[in-house]
A and B are shown apart, each in its own frame.
Chain A
Amino acid sequence: MITRARILEQAAQLRARFEAAGAQTVETPILQPAETLLDLYGEDIRARAYITSDALRGEQMLRPDFTVPVVQKHMEHGAEPARYTYAGEVFRRQEHDPDRANEYIQVGYEVFDRTNPAAADAEVFALIAQALDGLALRAATGDIGILMAAVAGLKTTEPRKAALMRHIWRPRRFRALLDRYAGRTPVPPARAALLAADDPLTGGAPEIGKRDRADVEARIAVLRADAAAAPISDNEIAGLDALLSVRETMPFALEHLRDIAVDLPQINPALDRLEARIAALRARGIDVDRLDFEASYGRTSMEYYDGFVFGFYAERRPDLPPIATGGRYDALTRRLGNGAEIPAVGGVLRPGLMLLLAEAET
């Protein structure tokens, strides 16, 4: 029987392990101002987090994770470099799967350090891998930064790159945009009519609402410019497709990506970072020759990660969510830092699931 007391004990042990690795314990309130999280995640967060409110403070959210409040705390008055650990409940609204927990204990470890990102990546991954030692788990890794670098360096217009970048975490919309910019999908009839019209704004409909004529004209100008721009080349599209399908053990993945970089040279700096990370992981005793790497890993569920990403999965329990996840989130510190930024990487574990698996294995 996995009681709450046992989970708390396991969480305390994990936190003590991270303290021993040099982390300082932080506490964050359970109720978080909803505005910051809504601003970061958009409407989707409402489907995943519990929102409550009162007349004085407005909307509050039951902490869906620790990362955002820990980053905020650090950006306000953290010394550098810093290592933090925490343990406590997080709350996740569940609308589709009644078997998934809507409240569980999470333990985390976060590193804010500018000096050596590859070493920090390896430190977080290795500490979490050690904490999970003895459980039959498969580790998956990826790196969102490689895809972002590929998009940023495409030989196409800035608005197209911005649109693709905006949808990096929505693979279907990303694909639809890519197909359109490559000239592979026909122009919808309404769009064609709009572009053919001399003055598209003479429909006679009264102008209502806050999105006004200037907004409409600005978008039409963007659409006209886009229609005049050359399609993204087959070569670049093939390069992106090849990149997204890379799925091998780490050293082979790197080799494969270096081949792809012949057509997409803009990813080389990101690949240098991957190479440094592999060396740092090896130095930490991780068997990188058996560690999986998927270039598209983490694209659907890990919105604030923009570099290294990882997760640990119970292979014999595909019904369970990942036992641990983490990654690099430099851009999040920029978003929450009011102009300041610091490279940051971290990960979280679920002690309750660890106990469940340990029990099943004995």
Chain B
Amino acid sequence: MSLKLGVPSKGRLMEKTFSWFDKRGITLSRTGSDREYAGRVDGIEGVSLVLLSAGEIPRELAAGRIHLGVTGTDLVHEKLPLWDQQLEEVAPLGFGQADLIIAVPACWADVDTLDDLDAAAAGFRARHGHRLRIATKYHRLVREFLTAAGVADYTLVDSQGATEGTVKNETAEAIADITSTGETLRANHLKILSDGLILRSQATLWRSRVAPMDAVEKSALDQFLQRLSQ
């Protein structure tokens, strides 16, 4: 069998991943029609390409169904609580940089820190009768971050997209989301808490610590890693 490399199946993340490997003499390409998720690897023996949604790559690595995979640090940390036991970081790829942050409406003149957020949440709950809602798709990371900071009286509400719009739509009072330039936040009249950085993320190549390997796959992995380190 061959070594399986999981790569995001579409968009800029896929293109940038392809070009990152290209610079190292490994050519990844999609085959068949535009709609078919099949691909090939040239320039190295014994490696096959698996095109997947970036969100599924952490799970596939942890289950050992792929040996290598490219996905964001944010997704790995969110989906795999014990990620460092299941995965090893091979190389940060230098693109897809984004920070997972907590942002609140810019008009909240009284809120600049987590400490303020906690006090605002207490006052909000007392006046409005429900907890202060924070919209996010990173439930585990945000909850652990807020628990460690001792923030109470909030609740997380799920938002899988257009999270910055939830405050104006009054489905949430604050958000926790990834941002690279902060432009979308500003356009939606939100500001980042000064101590509200949860995680710095970028596209990263990971190796599964649990995927079974035969001798052929092991030697393909050694060659692959050697090529990357050149």
**Chain A residues in the interface with B (C-beta under 8 A):** 38, 42-44, 46-47, 95-96, 98, 163, 166-167, 170, 172-174, 176, 188, 190-191, 194, 200-201, 203, 205-211, 213-216, 218-220, 222-223
Contact = CB atoms under 8 A, between A and B. Distances in A.
B100 interface: no
A166 B109 contact: no
Contact of B152 (A98, A166, A209, A210): A166
Interface stretch (B18-26, B62-70, B110-118): B110-118
Contacts of B122: 163, 166
B81 interface: yes
26 contacts: A42-B131, A42-B152, A42-B154, A46-B139, A47-B144, A163-B122, A173-B149, A190-B112, A194-B109, A200-B110, A201-B109, A203-B106, A206-B107, A210-B170, A211-B173, A213-B107, A215-B120, A215-B123, A215-B124, A215-B127, A216-B107, A218-B127, A219-B111, A220-B109, A220-B110, A222-B123
Nearest 4 Cβ contacts at the A-B interface: A173-B150, A205-B106, A190-B112, A205-B107
B106 A191 contact: no
B143 A223 contact: no
A46 B123 CA distance: 23
B132 interface: yes
Given A167-B150, A219-B119, A208 B107 contact: yes
A163 B150 CA distance: 12
A190 B127 CA distance: 25
B45 interface: no
A209 B167 contact: yes
B37 interface: no
Contacts of B149: 173
Contacts of A96: 81-82
B110 A210 contact: no
Interface string B130-162: 011000000110011011011111111000000
A191 B194 CA distance: 12
B112 A191 contact: yes
A216 B124 CA distance: 10
A213 B13 CA distance: 41
A44 B128 contact: no
A210 B131 contact: no
Contact of A223 (B110, B152, B173): B110
A209 B154 contact: no
A172 B109 CA distance: 25
Contacts of A209: 105, 107, 167-168, 170, 173
A38 B132 CA distance: 13
B147 A44 contact: yes
A336 to B, nearest CB: 17
Main secondary structure of the interface of B (DSSP, over half): mixed
Contact of B120 (A163, A200, A219): A219
> Interface size bucket, B side?
35 or more
Contacts of A220: 109-110
A188 B143 contact: no
B112 A207 contact: no
A163 B194 CA distance: 22
**Centre residue among A176, A203, A210, A222 by max chain B CB count within 10 A:** A210
Nearest to A201: B109
Contacts of B153: 42
Contacts of B82: 96, 98
B155 A208 contact: no
Contacts of B156: 43, 46
B189 interface: yes
Nearest to A219: B110
A47 B144 CA distance: 9
A38 B155 contact: yes
Given A173-B150, A206-B189, A211 B140 contact: no
Contacts of A191: 112, 116
B129 to A, nearest CB: 11
Contacts of A216: 107-110
A46 B142 CA distance: 12
Contact of A203 (B107, B143, B168): B107
A164 B179 CA distance: 34
Contact of B81 (A95, A174, A218): A95
B140 A95 contact: yes
A207 B123 contact: no
Interface in B172-191: 173, 189, 191
A141 to B, nearest CB: 25
Contacts of B123: 215, 218-219, 222
Nearest to B142: A43
Contacts of A44: 143, 147
Contacts of A215: 120, 123-124, 127
Given A211-B105, A215-B124, A43 B143 contact: yes
Contacts of B132: 211
Contacts of B115: 176, 188
Contacts of B110: 194, 200, 216, 219-220, 223
Contacts of A42: 131, 152-155
A136 B80 CA distance: 37
B154 A211 contact: no
A222 B126 CA distance: 14
B167 A208 contact: yes
B88 to A, nearest CB: 19
Nearest to B156: A43
